[in-house]
Amino acid sequence: MRRSCIDRIFLILSISLIFYIGWFIFNSISRISRDPDEEIAYLHAISGSSPMIHNIQLCSSNEIDLIIIIISSGSQFLERQAIRETWGSMSHIMNVHSQRLFVVGYHYGSGLYKDLLYEAQNEQDLLYLTVNDDSITLKELYAYRWLDKYCPNVKFTFKTDDDLFINSFLLHEIIRELKTNPDQFQNRYLYNSSLDSLFLAHLNPDAHTFLFGWAFQPGKPERNASMVPYYVSYKEYSKDLYPRYCSSFGYLMDSKTRSLLVDEGFKDKYPFRFSDIFITGILPERLNFICDALPFTYHQGTAEQCIDIIKQHNKKTLQLSTPPLIVCSTGRHVAQNTFSDYYRIWTVLKFVFGNRIHTTQSRKSKN
The residues binding ligand NAG (CB under 6 A) are 192, 224, 226-227, 320-321
Q: Considering the complex, what minimum distance in angstroms separates the CB of residue 164 from ligand NAG?
A: 27
Q: Considering the complex, what minimum distance in angstroms separates the CB of residue 352 from ligand NAG?
A: 17
Compute the distance between CA of residue 252 and CA of residue 273 in angstroms, rounded to an integer: 20
Rank residues 168 and 193 by Cβ distance to ligand NAG and give the closer one: 193
Q: Which residues pair with 97 in a beta bridge?
A: 92
Q: List helix spans (H) across the chain.
A: 2-33, 36-47, 77-85, 113-123, 136-150, 168-179, 196-203, 255-265, 275-277, 283-286, 303-311, 340-352
The DSSP annotation for 71-136 comes to E--TT-HHHHHHHHHTGGG-SEETTEEEEEEEEEEE-TT---HHHHHHHHHHHS-EEEEEEETT-H
Nearest residue to ligand NAG by CB is 320
Decide: 68 and 99 in contact? Cβ < 8 Å: yes
The total number of residues written for the chain in this structure: 367
Rank residues 6 and 225 by Cβ distance to ligand NAG and give the closer one: 225
Q: Considering the complex, what minimum distance in angstroms separates the CB of residue 41 from ligand NAG?
A: 40
Q: Considering the complex, what minimum distance in angstroms separates the CB of residue 226 from ligand NAG?
A: 4
Residue 270 DSSP label: S
Q: Considering the complex, what minimum distance in angstroms separates the CB of residue 225 from ligand NAG?
A: 7
Rank residues 46 and 227 by Cβ distance to ligand NAG and give the closer one: 227
Contacts of 223 (CB under 8 A, 6+ apart): 231, 232, 234
Decide: 99 and 66 in contact? Cβ < 8 Å: yes
Rank residues 192 and 204 by Cβ distance to ligand NAG and give the closer one: 192
Rank residues 181 and 226 by Cβ distance to ligand NAG and give the closer one: 226
Q: Considering the complex, what minimum distance in angstroms separates the CB of residue 192 from ligand NAG?
A: 4
Rank residues 184 and 187 by Cβ distance to ligand NAG and give the closer one: 187
